[in-house]
A and B are shown apart, each in its own frame.
Chain A
Amino acid sequence: DTGVSQDPRHKITKRGQNVTFRCDPISEHNRLYWYRQTLGQGPEFLTYFQNEAQLEKSRLLSDRFSAERPKGSFSTLEIQRTEQGDSAMYLCASSLVRQYEQYFGPGTRLTVT
């Protein structure tokens, strides 16, 4: 399977802890996106990379959130000092540069207790 993969699929953490998620995009895709989805809502854009450059960040991405794509391949999303409001599904997607269609991974479900 050469789709987008995300790890872990589920994460339970206590408030105040740091968590890190990983995303591996489709291999030939040079754009990688992070979204967050809460219950009853559609995915909300957080940030995206073209190769290793972070080109756009949403105002939703507070100072506690940081994303990297160091070699233009996989990406990590870190949340520091987690809060209960961070509980959500974190989705990663990838695409080619000229492509509107984005292809999503299965997501990482974060629960902050």
Chain B
Amino acid sequence: DQQVKQNSPSLSVQEGRISILNCDYTNSMFDYFLWYKKYPAEGPTFLISISSIKDKNEDGRFTVFLNKSAKHLSLHIVPSQPGDSAVYFCAASARETSGSRLTFGEGTQLTVNP
């Protein structure tokens, strides 16, 4: 049962344009969502997060949007830079019912072309 899904295995964008990475979830008990970035041979690096009581959180070039009714979140990166090329993971937490574990999606490989 894949509770967090990232349906696009890969995304390619031009430098300077917007990158939009999408994530869907099925568990309505999820109350906190996170995005991680992973470079090869490194562990995931925390990027940005959002609580279920908000619908948007912004940090510099990164903005996360949450649509609870659709059980959908997205990460916007603008402007995209070649150094943003990495695998991006969406993760979710349901602290009341599932303790402190994070449930991850499969990841989306972002490639930003110069």
Q: Which residues of A contact B (CB under 8 A)?
A: 4, 6, 31, 33, 35, 40-45, 48, 55-56, 58, 91, 93, 95, 100-107
Which A residues lie within 8 Å of B100 (CB)?
31, 33, 48, 55-56, 95
Contact of A100 among B44, B49, B103 (CB under 8 A): B49
B interface residues, how many (CB within 8 angstroms):
25
Measured CB to CB, the nearest residue on chain A to B44 is: A104
Contact indicator B99/A103 (Cβ below 8 Å): no
Listed from nearest, the 9 A-B pairs whose CB atoms lie closest are A42-B104, A104-B43, A45-B101, A100-B32, A56-B99, A104-B44, A106-B43, A42-B89, A43-B104
A16, B52: Cα distance in complex, Å: 45
17 contacting pairs across A/B (C-beta < 8 A): A4-B43, A33-B102, A40-B106, A40-B107, A41-B106, A42-B107, A43-B44, A43-B89, A45-B101, A48-B100, A56-B101, A93-B43, A95-B100, A100-B93, A101-B34, A102-B102, A104-B44
